Amino acid sequence: MNRSWTRDADIPVLAECDVVVCGGGPAGCAAAIASARHGAETLLLEKYGYLGGAAVAQLVSVVLSTNGVDFQGLWHEWARRLHAYRAMPPLIRTPSRYNPDCHWFRTSVDPEGVKRVWDEMLEQVGADVLLLAHLCGASVEDGAITGVVAHTRAGMQQIRAARVIDATGDAAVAHEAGVAWDRGVVGKPWPQQVSLKRRIGGQPIPGTDGAKPLAGGGTVAWRPEAIGRVNRKRVDPLDPMALSAAVRDMQHEVWRRSDDLPEGEYLVDTAAEPGVRTSRIVQGIERVEDDDAWNLRKRPDGIARSSWEIDVHPPDDEKPLPERWLHSGSEAYAEFARRLFAGEWFDIPCGCLVADGVDNLLVAGRCISAGYLAQGSLRIQQTCMATGEAAGVAAALSLREGVSPRDLDPQIVVAQLAEDRDVEPAFPSLREV
């Protein structure tokens, strides 16, 4: 069903641009930066009063990689800036809790630093940002998307654009435009469990007396914080009532637990929204299939590398878990993990970013065209960032070439990305990768 708005003439136009990007998370910010850098007049739309997506709104502050090859292009610039602001420590290697033979790259980010860095990067490339704008519709004319409708403090308003990039995570633009999508699973409405992060302050630091020495002498009191989560299974992330009830239930659990914290520890906050790992997966003109991920296939039209685990969080209590899931503990998966640890990855082809059935609409982030298991890997932050960067490049180059994204030669995008991503790694530990 086409859910596009039919009376756009009655909705005032707020802005017109070459490219409008919907969603200010890692995929959307990367898409807007790449689009603007390649000459497209770009506007980024975000529902919150800040940028950052899951790292901020969901408190998903951990950065993880099996081998570092999925840190590409803009990620290094983003990470380098965060590190300079003391908002990201260097990457370290720690054993995987699931496979002692494998060691992951790991670090974390400060949510406030993430907001600042994305804002700076977008401002420096000249991309416009519209905060506090809630997407509520898409305009489709003669089979091509021509813009989106957002609810702002001024009411319903249109943003007209030659290209639209859906980086909402939930594929909200694609859904409103009538693009086909699926959940990745059959026979159940819950693809993965949902979670709510919570932040606890005042935790003791092992091996310290509660104070940190300063380089110039003296000490400063530690204020350490730890982030954890509570989970819920059998929650349909697209059922508003069910998701709302699950969030409240998780909040209540966090509050109850906080009553029993040791003296000196305290609940700082809970995340602004739940962590939803999978909701809609868009049908693109190509699809990265589960076998592509499992066999770590490379593609000449690959625009992003995915090398994270097949990280499907069980949505219910059905057992046994399939052997291709990270949490299965199977020998088949252990061998797959060893290949990742040795430096392997699978490629995401360019066509996975191009929505099928509606022209001039690209997708980026966890909602791109993929199989269920492939999506369980590529949904991680740095890969979302890489698909966003590719979508921004594809949008800008399609305008420059005068063709729709579906007719754009993928090799033009691949070549441009190779040039753009020829950058110094953000951390010395990645130079050997």
* pLDDT, tens digit (0-9, with 9 covering 90-100), for 388-426: 999 999 999 999 999 999 999 999 999 999 999 999 999
Distance, in Å, from the CA atom of 53 to the CA atom of 169, rounded to the nearest integer, reads: 9
pLDDT higher than 50, residue 222: no
Contact 23, 46 (CB under 8 A): yes
pLDDT at 4: 45
Distance, in Å, from the CA atom of 40 to the CA atom of 283, rounded to the nearest integer, reads: 26
Q: How far is CA 61 from CA 44, 380, 430, in A?
A: 22, 12, 20
Name the one residue in this structure whose structure tokens are 């063709």: 403
Q: Convert the pLDDT of each residue in 139-180 to its tens digit.
A: 999 999 999 999 999 999 999 999 999 999 999 999 999 999
Query: Which residues share a beta bridge with 168?
Result: none
Kind and range of the H or E element at 399?
helix 381-401
pLDDT higher than 80, residue 1: no
The confidence band for 219, taking pLDDT boundaries of 50, 70 and 90, is very low
The DSSP result for 359-390, as a single string, is: BTEEE-STTSSB-HHHHHHHTSHHHHHHHHHH
pLDDT higher than 70, residue 7: no
pLDDT at 99: 83
The amino acid occupying position 352 is C
The confidence band for 46, taking pLDDT boundaries of 50, 70 and 90, is very high
Query: Which residues share a beta bridge with 13?
Result: 158
The confidence band for 97, taking pLDDT boundaries of 50, 70 and 90, is confident
Backbone angles phi, psi at 233, to 5 degrees: -100, 170
The amino acid occupying position 266 is Y
Radius of gyration in angstroms for the set of CA atoms belonging to the chain, rounded to a whole number: 21
- Put simply, whether the predicted model's pTM sits higher than 0.85 gets the answer yes
**Which burial class, exposed, middle or buried, applies to 207 when counting CB atoms under 10 A from its CB (0-12, 13-18, 19+)?**
exposed
End-to-end CA distance of the chain: 46
